[in-house]
Chain A
Amino acid sequence: MTLDIDTWIQVAAFVGGGLAMGFGAIGAAIGEGFTASEANLAISRTPKISGDIFKNMLVGQAIAESAAIFALVVAMILLFTDFSGQSILMVSVLLAAGLSMGFGAIGSGIGSGFPAGEACVGMSRQPAMSGQLTTNMLIGSAVCQTPSIFALVISFILLFSDFSGLPIAPTWAAILGTGFAVGLAAIGSGLGGGLVAQTSCEGMARQPTSASTVTNIMLLAQAVTQTPAIYGILIAFILLFKGFTPTASLPAAMALLAAGLCMGFGAIGPGIGIGNTGRSAVRWIARNKESTADLTRIMLVGQAVCESTAIYSLVVALVLIFVI
């Protein structure tokens, strides 16, 4: 049995679509489940404002859902676009588009659920703060979504760019690496950003007087949390646009694939760790506003140390791309 190029491209499109939606559904479902469980807790505490809490739960869940909707869109495009008549390189392009969006939606989906749940609990604790809590939740969840948006951007670039003029080897490996780099790197940052936003909602409800400080420090901590995802998209752009000299050598191709895997996996841990540090800092700044300066300093020092392993991964990935 011989299979022509169009058949392989169709196979890759369907497998990519399955991977995108399968992995992409994990995060949002967990995050929304967490939100709903916290909302139940909140309503049992303060049944009087159950309507407000219910509305807030739905708004928060809608944001967490967006990561999964991105995955659905990419999966639909993979299923219903006609990719026939293109080079065999499209096999790796379509797989990478699916992997990037599938992995990329996990962290943001889980992460966005945390602030939404905590905002519901906060409303039951301080009904007077409901409006501010919803606003803070929206800001925090929006930042959590950025890693999944990075993944969506890379998926769209992969799906709608013309790769016909490029050499098949080693570009196929670079493109697969792109998918892994941006997709896996988004997991840690999405999750970490959610941890920070969660305690900012908690702190705001406990100490309404420190609301503005808490929002500011949350944004600072979330910005640091996003850095591993930014390293991921940086490596993805380098792999996509550097342009590699044609070579049939297997080591040259594997080096590019390894660069993507290295940066992708390497960004997961630091993203979660940085988020965890920011989470405690924001929680205690809310309770102990006088120590804001001390806490911000130690948070940034702690986050910088967490960042180091992401930087090692970045260095190894760059060595794999440019030195080897």
Chain B
Amino acid sequence: MAIEGTHLVQAAAFLGAGLSMGLGAIGPGVGEGLVGSKACEAIGKNPGEAGLLTRTMLVGQAVSESTGIYALVIALLLLFVV
């Protein structure tokens, strides 16, 4: 079976998309877990500030999420645009 150049490039794009999203999801998952973990600890110590702490946790996690979204964007670009 002869492999044409365009097919090879297309195959690499698909593989790259899978690796981008797969590996890109590791960091945000672990990072957001640390934020959630400390937020639970903080509410355990100071239950009166639950509202403020929840807000802070969500903002922090949203920032941590951004690299996961970059990975998603790159994966979708590799799948549909490039």
**Chain A positions near chain B (C-beta within 8 angstroms):** 188, 192, 248-251, 253-255, 257-277, 279-281, 283-285, 287-288, 290-291, 294-295, 298-299, 301-303, 305-306, 308-310, 312-313, 316-317, 319-320, 323-324
Q: How many interface contacts (CB-CB < 8 Å) are there between A and B?
A: 201
B47 touches A258 (CB 8 A): no
B82 close to chain A: CB less than 8 A: no
* Cβ of A199 to closest chain B Cβ, rounded Å: 10
User: CB within 8 A of B22: which of A264, A274, A275, A287?
Assistant: A264
B40 partner residues in chain A, CB cutoff 8 A: 277, 280-281, 283-284, 295, 298-299, 302
Query: Please, how many angstroms separate the alpha-carbon atoms of A271 and B29 in the complex?
Result: 7
SS of A interface (majority): helix
Query: Please, how many angstroms separate the alpha-carbon atoms of A192 and B41 in the complex?
Result: 17
**Chain B positions near chain A (C-beta within 8 angstroms):** 1, 3, 7-8, 10-19, 21-41, 43-45, 47, 50, 53-54, 57-58, 61-62, 65, 68-69, 71-72, 75-76, 79
B34 partner residues in chain A, CB cutoff 8 A: 273, 276
CB-defined A-B contacts under 8 Å, sample of 27 = A248-B1, A258-B15, A262-B18, A262-B21, A266-B21, A266-B22, A269-B26, A269-B27, A270-B29, A276-B30, A276-B37, A277-B39, A280-B36, A280-B41, A284-B44, A287-B44, A294-B50, A298-B36, A298-B43, A301-B36, A301-B57, A302-B32, A302-B61, A303-B36, A305-B32, A305-B61, A316-B76
SS of B interface (majority): helix
Query: In chain A, what residue has the closest Cβ to B4?
Result: A250
